[in-house]
A = this chain, B = another copy of it.
Amino acid sequence: MATAEFWYEFASTYSYPAAMRVAEFAASRGVALAWRPFLLGPIFAVQGWRDSPFNIYPAKGRYMWRDLERICDALGLPLKRPDPFPQNSLLAARVALALEGERRTDFSRRVYAAEFSEGLTISDRAVIASVLAKAGLDPQDVLGRAESDANKALLKMESARAAELGIIGAPCLVTEDGEVFWGNDRLEQGLDWAAGRGA
């Protein structure tokens, strides 16, 4: 079966619609997806950015919010601008990484909904604990594993791996042959490539 990796960052705006629609698109093309949460912070730091480029360059930020609004409207997704933006996504990323398979996918989508549909603060332990409980998981147990030294180190490795792959933003689809497709607007192309139709 064809496979692809879906690299996403919880603070990333375009990762929100992508996370909400990628599974269905992948299934329709027969592509098995591995969900890989990572942090963009270290990658942005290499570019000299200590904040989101959408804040550093206000005109770019204005364009992005309007673009995202149109995208969410077209998908019927509610959109609430998180405050502060970007959210600190460290805890959510650690938790996602501590979960596997469907649990990771389900948790990740719930985090995006909490952040961008409800406007909740995802760096807040209580918010993440509540998302875990609603997903039918034991918050104490999962948070404990998420904050283990091993899992923290694993997340650092994942972010380093993302940089190695040439990932410079989120979301990205990465195919088995190492092609990187950046952006919610490249999901279809990346999945077609993964399914062997784009090669």
Chain A: residues with CB nearer than 8 A to chain B? 43, 46-47, 57, 59-60, 62-63, 66-67, 70, 74, 166, 168, 179-183, 185-186, 189, 198
B168 touches A67 (CB 8 A): no
**Copies of this chain:** 2
Give the secondary structure class of A's interface.
helix
B168 touches A60 (CB 8 A): yes
Point out the residues of chain B lying under 8 angstroms from A181, CB to CB: 67
Ordered by A's residue number, 21 sampled pairs between the chains whose C-beta atoms are within 8 Å are A43-B59, A47-B57, A47-B59, A57-B168, A59-B166, A59-B168, A60-B168, A62-B166, A63-B166, A63-B168, A63-B180, A63-B182, A66-B179, A66-B180, A67-B181, A67-B186, A70-B179, A70-B189, A74-B198, A183-B185, A185-B185
How far, in angstroms, from A181 to B74 measured CA to CA in the complex? 14
> How many whole Å from A77's CB to the nearest CB in chain B?
16
How far, in angstroms, from A67 to B173 measured CA to CA in the complex? 13
How far, in angstroms, from A59 to B42 measured CA to CA in the complex? 13
Partner of A67, one of B59, B67, B182: B182
Point out the residues of chain B lying under 8 angstroms from A185, CB to CB: 183, 185-186
Point out the residues of chain B lying under 8 angstroms from A46, CB to CB: 59
> How many whole Å from A99's CB to the nearest CB in chain B?
29
Point out the residues of chain B lying under 8 angstroms from A183, CB to CB: 185
Point out the residues of chain B lying under 8 angstroms from A70, CB to CB: 179, 189, 198
Instruction: Report which residue of A63, A180, A182 has the largest number of chain B beta carbons within 10 angstroms of its beta carbon.
Output: A63
